[in-house]
Structure 1
């Protein structure tokens, strides 16, 4: 459990210098820029093509670009927050929005999870499980006293996402913009699977599910208000959460059995996200 949590923290921690990866496509292909955090970059998923940002050649941006024969500039990076859209994530790393210009045709954005500190929340939840494995100690910790700190963080992140979308439109005024939500991490029915590889208390699964749904609802709302489309990656991944057995699981556990970061999409999860993004993008970009 400790190693898994340390790995999860490392995956979501700020990364260093990263070069954009350019996909196939001619000068006249769709100019596609992918922005975002580790759910876009796909850390550990084979084949890793950027050791700093933990970016995979089989992440959803690469799959969408392949499907559309688009020219891809992928600057997604593990650990990214909304602040890293307009400021350097590390010395020598350009702000992600610097990849945009007036020629950009398509932009996808996966952001917000690190702004609410979701990896830290999961680490705290795992540490608290031993205090009340049958109860909901994490919910009590973050939502006790009548104030849910995670809901408050989601509310505070809304204006940051809105600012990112305004900047995207300013830099790429002709682009189709798609905000990409987060896939289903926990059982949608709220019934958990406490184990060594999923060290969460039974009562916390439903609360964590609800927090993710709140985050996605906020992102969908900001997309509507921010002249962007929303890619729902949650609905098509229901039934493939981290409690499912290997082969059915598209989100890995705290101790992954398939190449992926802890509590992140594996290759099948990235393919499912790509399909959802394709649906949201639509035709005639």
Structure 2
């Protein structure tokens, strides 16, 4: 049986220090990609040159470079534009700072698609060495060592976690992606969750492939966390009909309890204070985003 064909999409912005190594890691996979599209948003460093060097290193390189204006970038529309250019049976999304842990990454990520009802397969994110302790624990909570597949049957038990996926490291079955209508063109956050919600609603399943791991984490400042969660809160409020009353509150409380208990056991008082500040920024951003969305919908 022929190996599956996989198209990779990587948006970049000032990725000079990361993109060359990432592309070479992808090209050395046990299941190599059919094509790799790098969409650069007007980088100011040597990102474009790094991509062109990798693309020209082989006679039939599968690396393609797309360049757009920075102001034209948004998470949904830009990925949709790139996806429309792909041809693979599966569409694999990565961010520039997500480094595959080993050469079996792609093979492991597409393995769940042997189940014909799986529309989306998302991989495990392992924190980088410089991640602060509470960020490590948050990643461990969200990305366990055990794989699973979830469907609409899991909504009552898992709540919003049923829709868990991330375009940091995620693959889509092309036929399912097209069935779901593709990424929304005007969506600057949570485009992955948007498709996950629609997938579950249309009877598809979502897989978490723990063996498909990337190194990825961020030490966000409170202001960065606030802005990120403002956008998430805005998205969740605008998608209330699709979510049909499912809230993220319970899952968020479980995460806080899990991380807090671990930090207490380890005696990391400073990290505990920092974590509470981080959680406060998340909560305030979420509420502000929901408030903005409500006001906009009331005026519409």
Alignment TM-score, normalising by the size of structure 1: 0.32
Between Structure 1 and Structure 2, the one with more helix by share is 2
Between Structure 1 and Structure 2, the one with more strand by share is 2
